Amino acid sequence: MSKIRPSKGAPYARILGVGGYRPTRVVPNEVILETIDSSDEWIRSRSGIQTRHWANDEETVAAMSIEASGKAIADAGISAEQIGGVIVSTVSHFKQTPAVATEIADKLGTDKAAAFDISAGCAGFGYGLTLAKGMIVEGSAEYVLVIGVERLSDLTDLEDRATAFLFGDGAGAVVVGPSQEPAIGPTVWGSEGDKSETIKQTVAWNEYDSSTDKFPAITQEGQAVFRWAVFEMAKVAQQALDAAGISPDELDVFIPHQANERIIDSMVKTLKLPEHVTVARDVRTTGNTSAASIPLAMERLLATGEAKSGDTALVIGFGAGLVYAATVVTLP
């Protein structure tokens, strides 16, 4: 018989607060057209994107995360000292070590919170949310900060007609804490590594030669990614609804990864979501911010009143890896 005492965590976990930060510089499609042969109409029709935000030198991964996190902590009504864990999902923090989460935890004023980074691309927020839920239920932390943050402008090839218009910068954060009732459903997540070449960094850091190579950038096989996202991720989204015991009619809000508005529209159609379901379309003015896209979209929907506290939302992220994560949550 084991002598280890059982955990004394909360019975359930929930999102208690959300915050976002978008860089001050707004970049319209006209700027993108300076380096690629395309048109504003083509970009809008293929992606839905009209503008995106690009960070300046001061708007670092850490700085944007701290701004978004401060808002989330205030929204949750707690203090930074109560945060027991900081999870940062990003692919655009260029230092392999130390984790940027440790810097963020310190500058926010946490009391030596556990802090670590994860790399799960556009599914990173869902991965972080699942880890936070486990920490709270297990009892290793009472409150956990989950951050999705990217400076994808640093990894964008502005001469690549297929991707130059897609990416933006920003940070989104949520505070996850204890709950007496289920408010974060089971996560349906996974990976399809046999498709990893469809979204990738062009040159590995240890192979990059500044004298001959372009700076590493993100590239993708657009049609392959589109087909996978539309057909396979709709199945995953349905599995998340089933796992939570929620029917499409009971859903209030749909917050998919803001990759492309055509993908979003196709998923809505495939899932047969009722017209009353509010659909996040933050991609139009924020672009694809990878791990930051879901919390940023969530924050905007709540700020504009398109969604409200207590609404039931389906969230799903998917991207490089190829990886995915979907769950149903109660909005803070």
Active site residues: 122, 257, 288
Q: Are 147 and 128 in contact (CB under 8 A)?
A: yes
The token pair at 6 is 């059982």
258 Cβ neighbours under 8 A, 6+ residues apart? 264, 280, 281, 282, 283, 286, 287, 288, 289, 293, 294, 296, 297
The token pair at 153 is 């402008």
92 Cβ neighbours under 8 A, 6+ residues apart? 61, 149, 150, 151, 152, 154, 155, 290
Write out the DSSP string of 150-179: EEGGGG--TT-TTTTTTB-EEEEEEEEEEE
In the chain, the amino acid numbered 120 is A
What is the CB-side half-sphere exposure of residue 258 using CA atoms within 13 A? 31
Distance of CA 314 to the CA centre of its chain: 13
Write out the DSSP string of 223-261: HHHHHIIIIIHHHHHHHHHHHHT--GGG--EEEE--S-H
The token pair at 65 is 């995360």
The Cα 13–Cα 329 span in angstroms is 10
In the chain, the amino acid numbered 230 is V
The Cα 20–Cα 121 span in angstroms is 18
State the pairing for strand pair 169-179/253-256: unpaired
